Amino acid sequence: MELDSASNGRPSRPPPPPPAPSIGRGAYLAWEDLTVVIPNFSGGPTRRLLDGLNGYAEPGRIMAIMGPSGSGKSTLLDSLAGRLARNVIMTGNLLLNGKKARLDYGLVAYVTQEDVLMGTLTVRETITYSAHLRLSSGLTKEEVNGIVEGTIIELGLQDCADRVIGSWQSRGVSGGERKRVSIALEILTRPQILFLDEPTSGLDSASAFFVIQALRNIARDGGRTVVSSIHQPSSEVFALFDDLFLLSSGETVYFGESKFAVEFFAEAGFPCPKKRNPSDHFLRCINSDFDTVTATLKGSQRIREGHHEMEVRKGSEASWFKQLRTLTKRSFVNMCRDIGYYWSRIVIYIVVSICVGTIFYDVGHSYTSILARVSCGGFITGFMTFMSIGGFPSFIEEMKVFYKERLSGYYGVSVYIISNYVSSFPFLVAISGITGSITYNMVKFRPGFSHWAFFCLNIFFSVSVIESLMMVVASLVPNFLMGLITGAGIIGIIMMTSGFFRLLPDLPKIFWRYPISFMSYGSWAIQGAYKNDFLGLEFEPMFAGEPKMTGEEVIQKIFGVKVTHSKWWDLAAIVLILVCYRILFFIVLKLKERAEPALKALQAKRTMRSLNKRPSFRKIPSLSSLSSRRHQALHSLSSQEGLTSPIH
């Protein structure tokens, strides 16, 4: 909006919009009559988050979405990116290069406000693994590394490329560098449109400037369309934005080039004082209580004619096996470097195994040793596997990374589940082997390699089942504290129905015996452990002169364990439960991502039926009926009745 030489200072007619883009020249994104509401099915008023917004974003330019807290910045950004929550409904049109189109993975990238990264990896490793997960399998390793290095240079990450991201156990890169790493991950596939949710949140002014400067370069050099919500930038950061979309209470206050916003507010009766940050001035004028300001301007733009197809790529062009290989390697590296994932547990397992071994050292074959053997076997298969819940915090962090990468289309659910188990396999083998060897040799269970091997396998698959169960819990209850409570409760029920605290024949038949004890790994693990240790042994009788007791008699008559099937069938049952938990994990993840769109569609239909019955639900005129100019004529705020400037 340029001022002419006339003394009245009114804006002259802006130049006509640029011609429609041709294929490959970038993505022109426009939104028409965009309204977002939260329905109230109880009959109360429907809350509008956004009300009839119109605007567009151009390639090669960076747009700032600004407004007070609660004005609808994040809602508008999520609406444009297709990431609205399930309980809200959006109406209106989103147009890509003049036609309705779905913003698919590969065309659009979204950088969340929270930087969800693996703290154990370096900056270069993080970007490299992401590149191998998403870039075409036809690219050579050298070509992928070239893209990675180019992205590192583009975001100015050369100085910190070999430093770890950082976590609770190790200090890493700065907040600004973390944000630039998050941006680097999203631009690897060269998306046409880049959305960012408050990328400067929590950063100092210098870090914020470098982040926005990097985004400006991305828009300029790559011809990308960059749209970012931002709360209250410094004057230096604000000057980097090309366009400004100013919101208040879900309505448009200003839409246009950012450099003309000061003139707009001055013309409207709210001049910006000297030495004041323009963005501070704007937000002070249009705080959420200052509703009258929103009546001054509705940004308008006629949608350009022409139908231009965009080349849409999938989120990942890598093959399934390449994704599996890359994800397995990355997960293994993360597990190796994260002390809390397995290493701390291995140390605890060693200490507890030594304690168990010394307490039950060389139990022998006396009558009292029967109870000692049963207690030791029950503790190992029950309480020691319970310690796997210690990895739940790491599971939660891993699930955060999965959800973030899944939303961006990095890989499929099956790849993640398989790679997660394969990468954990060496650690589970180490846990079971160390625990089994220490306790088996110190307690002196039934001698023989096959019996030791079964003992270790029993521990291995029992721990694997608990790990799988905790992953299911982490996917259903992403809250750390509630997840621990839920997981501990489930494992407690499994132990109570395992046959250790109360014999299996004595459990109530309805529900607890059938099906709970059959569905839990605990009963099968204890039965297998008893058979592995007792069968083939003889024990001294309770009273002298009586015949010796065989192991078969002990576990059948005293502990109610049936010997009609082999211990290997018990082990096979644990393996089957493990597979079922992994399948359940897959189903939960799939249902969460597939059920959400279906629920949204169902809720949208119900909402629209409800809204259409209300006369108050009116649409504003469509963009096609509005002026072809980027801005409408300004209306002085001071001319409105009863309105005075809050700036003194």
Nearest to 441 by CA among 427, 430, 420, 455: 455
Maximal CA-CA distance, the chain: 123
Which residue in 204, 297, 200 sits closest to 245, CA to CA? Answer: 297
Contacts 24+ apart (CB under 8 A), 491-498: 491/386, 491/389, 491/466, 493/520, 494/520, 494/521, 494/522, 495/382, 495/383, 495/386, 495/522, 497/522, 497/523, 498/378, 498/381, 498/382, 498/522, 498/523, 498/525, 498/526
pLDDT surpasses 70 at 279: yes
Domain parsing of the chain, residue ranges: 320-564
Report the C-alpha gap between 265 and 269 in whole angstroms: 6
Query: Which pLDDT band holds residue 315 (cuts at 50, 70, 90)?
Result: low
pLDDT tops 90 at residue 83 = no
> Is the confidence at residue 102, as pLDDT, over 60?
yes
- Mean pLDDT for 103-108 is 68
Is a pLDDT exceeding 70 seen at residue 186? Answer: yes
Average the pLDDT over each of 76-85, 343-352, 382-391, 516-525 and give the range with the smallest value: 382-391
Q: Across 37-51, 379-393, 510-524, which has the greatest mean pLDDT?
A: 510-524
Instruction: For the chain, give the mean pLDDT.
Output: 81
**Tell me, what's the pLDDT at 88?**
79
> What is the model's pLDDT at position 458?
94
Tokens found for residue 414: 């099956």
Q: Give the global pTM.
A: 0.78
Amino acid letter, 236: E
**454-487 pLDDT, tens digit each:** 999 999 999 999 999 999 998 888 788 888 889 8
pLDDT exceeds cutoff 60 at 13: no
pLDDT of residue 457: 95
Give a three-class secondary structure readout of 413-482: HHHHHHHHHHHHHHHHHHHHHHHHHHHHHHHCCCCCHHHHHHHHHHHHHHHHHHHHHHHHHHHHCCCHHH
CA 123 to chain centre: 19
For residue 346, the 8-state DSSP code is: H
Phi and psi torsions of 604, nearest 5°:
-65, -45
Mean pLDDT of 424-442: 94
Distance of alpha carbon 141 from alpha carbon 148, whole angstroms: 10
The CA distances from residue 118 to 330, 337, 475, 589, in Å, are 10, 10, 18, 20
Q: Which residue has the higher pLDDT, 184 or 387?
A: 184
pLDDT at res. 22: 38
Confidence of residue 308 (pLDDT cuts 50, 70, 90): very low
Q: Has residue 498 got a pLDDT over 80?
A: yes
Most confident of 81-90, 282-291, 400-409: 400-409
Q: What is the pLDDT of residues 119-172, one digit of tens each?
A: 999 999 999 999 999 888 888 999 999 999 999 998 889 999 999 998 877 788
pLDDT band, residue 601 (cuts 50/70/90): low
Mean pLDDT is lowest, of 95-104, 180-189, 408-417, for 95-104
Tokens of 418: 């398989």
